[in-house]
Amino acid sequence: MGFFYFCPMLNQVLKLARILSIDVVLGACLCSLFVGRYFHTQIPSVSVICLGISVWVIYTVDHLLDASKISHKAHSPRHYFHQKYFFPLLVAVVLVGLVNFRLIFFLPTPTLHWGIILTALVVLYFLMLKIFRKDFYVQKEFIISLIYTAGIFTPQLSVDHHDMRLEEIFLIIQFFFIALANLLEFSSFERFIDKMDGHKSFVQFAGSRVTNLLIKMFVSVSFFLNVGLILYGTHRYEQLVITAMLSTLGLLIAFPHFFERSERYRIWGDAIFLYPSIIFLIEWV
């Protein structure tokens, strides 16, 4: 009896974690450690912690801004939660941001410099979103994907001074396309909810057909690189993780009716960034 009571409770905890973007934070940290392993670089723990905090702050501020624009009760559970708990979450963002500000002084100097540049780009993104909110939505998914990719690679690239090989450049391209395909898929699944809440996205501008074609193109290009790196590269096991990530994205676009139920698309779409944990679990065992 207790088991059946615990399962719904666990489900609620996981749902709250998704609403608060905790899964996104864990995914970013794991991907950053995965990148460090790929480049044979020891990533300082403080760099990973600062990355995780920064990702949470950026995502939460973005959701708070979206929620503040909705005059009615939001149809999206995520936006409704940020509506309902707007001020507590805003206070949490400020407090967590102060903690992150204290931690950045323990970062390696090159990482700190890269972080300042990246922070400036994030601030510029929010300013552009505020100033050109009627026209800036078309670029939103592309810019967020670029910032996300830069974020997970910054702890490694900032301290690694060797010349990047082609294989490593391909990894950056793969992660950018994965992040972009992921966001475009979310926008495609949530296009009707976004329309009801007055949120604009790329899919509303270009249409579902064009968006789905772009998703398939990004996933296909990444698969092409993936197969080549498995056959001829030196990081075959890591590329098998990328295979699993791309396969999940492919399933989301292939079976939309299945994944749109109970927000399965978001559960599995965010879960792909947790797949690198497989590598670390295998090594640990």
What confidence score (pLDDT) does residue 153 get? 95
Domains and CATH numbers, the chain: 2-284 (1.10.600)
pLDDT for the residue numbered 134? 61
Return the pLDDT at 170: 93
Residues of the chain with pLDDT under 50: 1-5
Tokens of 216: 């398939």
d(CA 79, CA 247): 29
Q: Write out the two tokens for 251.
A: 């399933």
| H/E stretch holding 51 | helix 45-68
pLDDT given for residue 194 in this prediction: 75
Q: Cβ distance 137 to 206 under 8 Å?
A: no
From the number of C-beta atoms within 10 Å of its C-beta (0-12, 13-18, 19+), residue 116 rates as exposed
**Per-residue pLDDT at 251:** 95
Q: Helical H runs in the chain?
A: 2-19, 22-38, 45-68, 77-84, 86-103, 109-131, 140-157, 166-189, 191-197, 202-206, 208-232, 236-254, 256-259, 264-271, 277-284
Q: Is 28 within 8 Å of 59 (Cβ atoms)? A: no
pLDDT tens, position by position, 149-162: 999 999 999 988 77
* Cα–Cα dist 18/12, whole Å: 10
Angle between helices 264-271 and 236-254 (to 10 degrees): 170
Residue 275 pLDDT: 95
Quick one: tokens of 190?
Answer: 């949530």
Amino acid 263: pLDDT: 83
Q: Would you state the pLDDT for residue 261?
A: 87
